[in-house]
Amino acid sequence: MNCRTTLLGGASILMLAMPAFAQENDVVIALNEELETVEPCMASQSNIGRVILQNISETLTELNTDDGSLMPRLAESWEDQGEGTWRFNLRQGVVFSDGSSFDSADVAHSITRTLSPDLTCEIGAKFFGGMTLTATPVDDNTIEITSDPAQPILPLLMSTLTIVPSETAMEFTREPVGTGPYEMTEWNVGQDIILTRRDDYWGEQPEVAKATYLFRTDDAVRAAMVPAGEADIVPLISQIDATNEATDFAYPNSETTYLRVDSNIAPLDDIRIRQALNMAVDRAAFLGTLVPEAATLATHMTVPTALGADVDLGVPEYNLEEAQRLVEEARADGVPVDTEILLVGRLGNFPNVTEVMEALQQMLSETGLNIKLEMVEVAEWIKYYSKPFAAGDQPALVAAMHDNNRGDPVFSMYFKYACDGLQSGICDEELDGLIADATAQTGDERGDAWRAVFQKAHDLYADVFLFHMVGFSRVSERLDFTPSIATNSELQLSQIKIK
């Protein structure tokens, strides 16, 4: 019996323990990672967003990823009042899953809670870093939100902020309450999460009545669950398994893989070492082998279609000999190049992630640097990824995949590169100034300003960019559902139809 047969056999055993579909309108979704929390203000994290975002917790506005337009959600309309203030007119007749009514006080509380330094919400740090928001209810159905500095794309930013009732405590919840079409009726940690359709949802009733989320880390096992009739949707299958045209979909998923470099600690504080790390990776060798052939080499934190992205920046040349020379030059100048550097990978982050990380460890070690690889579960990984970094005083590289499907770098650059950015490994005064300038710009100047930010991060060799990814998902033929660029971070059950 070969390895693949063994895996598929394992899948069959697992399937015996799983419930058959109770109703025609129930669906089972097999995910690669468990959720370490069900807190709505953490829904920007892909494993959490796929379950919660727009299913349980809704936002004021919603991005249409098909055409880039901004759609109403809990806000029916919005107007620019000038001087950084936007007025949002809220939808009426909306109730939360606990029966309470939705109004402007809930929006104000959600903003305060999400941006509170005491709660460390990823949405707050990721999308609203470097700015302050003041929410002022005008009446129950109208609210004005003022940003400092002024944000010309504030309505787009509000497509990320999840709304909770004003009674929600200033601590992470295990029982999320939202205005979405579903409520969480079961959370069996380590096994499954069940969402059940609400009868009192304000919008159109979705066809899916109940969704069960199962967690299976093995790519082949998850892929085998659809043809076996034990799952309906499996996001993030391996390209090796995506062989059935009837059920398998490939799509650009707006994710960029990279190594976050903590440049505050030697030897990573030496730009020659960061340059050597970039030159040691033979990125092209991964394409068509461990990484899908359709993926592209990355030069930015965002995909090339983002505002201000500049493909002319170029991918660092693969030149192992020059990388070794740079390391030896740094050694001669007293840089502690023999210090162990921790390379942290996230299990289940994307198909073949363990094999990719092992190959990266080998490539980086060939420079003469001392690289130690650790693969950890998502709950452990986030401690290395967000401040205060769990690696402490040890120099570290953290492999990550960043999603920006909204087209503006404001959703990426502050928290990745500003000195106070939650996931930033660099602190550079000039870069901070460029980010602040770009964040406040409007019109054509905004693209130019972000282009300058990308150039500065490139010049500093701030990180090791790897690939702009493509995703593969498998969908049962009994469903009418096509995965999109948003599927990796948001999987709206209301978009699923039963054939």
In a domain, 34, yes or no: no
Assess whether pLDDT exceeds 90 at residue 451: yes
Which of 13-17, 282-286, 345-349 ranks highest by mean pLDDT?
282-286
Residues 194 and 124 in one domain: no
Residues 324 and 414 in one domain: yes
- State pTM to two decimals: 0.80
Number of domains in the chain: 3
Residues 232 and 271 in one domain: no
Exposure pattern of 258-296 as b/e (b: 16+ CB <10 Å)? bbbbbbebbbbebebbbbbbbbbbebeebeeebbbeebb
Place of tokens 């069940």: 194
> pLDDT tier at 348 (50, 70, 90 boundaries)?
confident
pLDDT in tens, 257-273: 999 999 999 999 999 99
In a domain, 166, yes or no: no
Distance of CA 30 to the CA centre of its chain: 18
Report the CATH number at residue 152.
Answer: 3.90.76.10
Least confident of 271-280, 315-324, 397-406, 425-434: 397-406
pLDDT in tens, 172-196: 999 999 999 999 999 999 899 999 9
- Residues whose CB falls within 8 Å of the CB of residue 14, separated by 6 or more in sequence, listed in order: 216, 221
**Which two structure tokens, joined as six digits, stand for 232?**
């309906």
Residues 116 and 149 in one domain: yes
Looking at residue 298, its amino acid is A
In a domain, 133, yes or no: yes
Residues 340 and 416 in one domain: yes
Last residue of a domain, which of 142, 158, 174? 158
Residues 294 and 349 in one domain: yes
Residues 420 and 463 in one domain: yes
Residues 391 and 281 in one domain: yes
Assess whether pLDDT exceeds 90 at residue 133: yes
Residues 212 and 319 in one domain: no
Place of tokens 């090339």: 304
Mean pLDDT estimate for the chain: 92
DSSP at 407: S
Q: Please give the residue range of the domain that contains residue 241.
A: 182-247+476-498
In a domain, 17, yes or no: no
Contact by Cβ (8 Å): 327, 278? no
Q: Give the per-residue pLDDT at 22.
A: 54
Residues 267 and 316 in one domain: yes
In a domain, 417, yes or no: yes
Alpha carbon distances (Å) from 200 to 106, 179, 182, 206, 492? 18, 10, 10, 12, 18
In a domain, 379, yes or no: yes
Assess whether pLDDT exceeds 80 at residue 155: yes
Assess whether pLDDT exceeds 80 at residue 344: yes
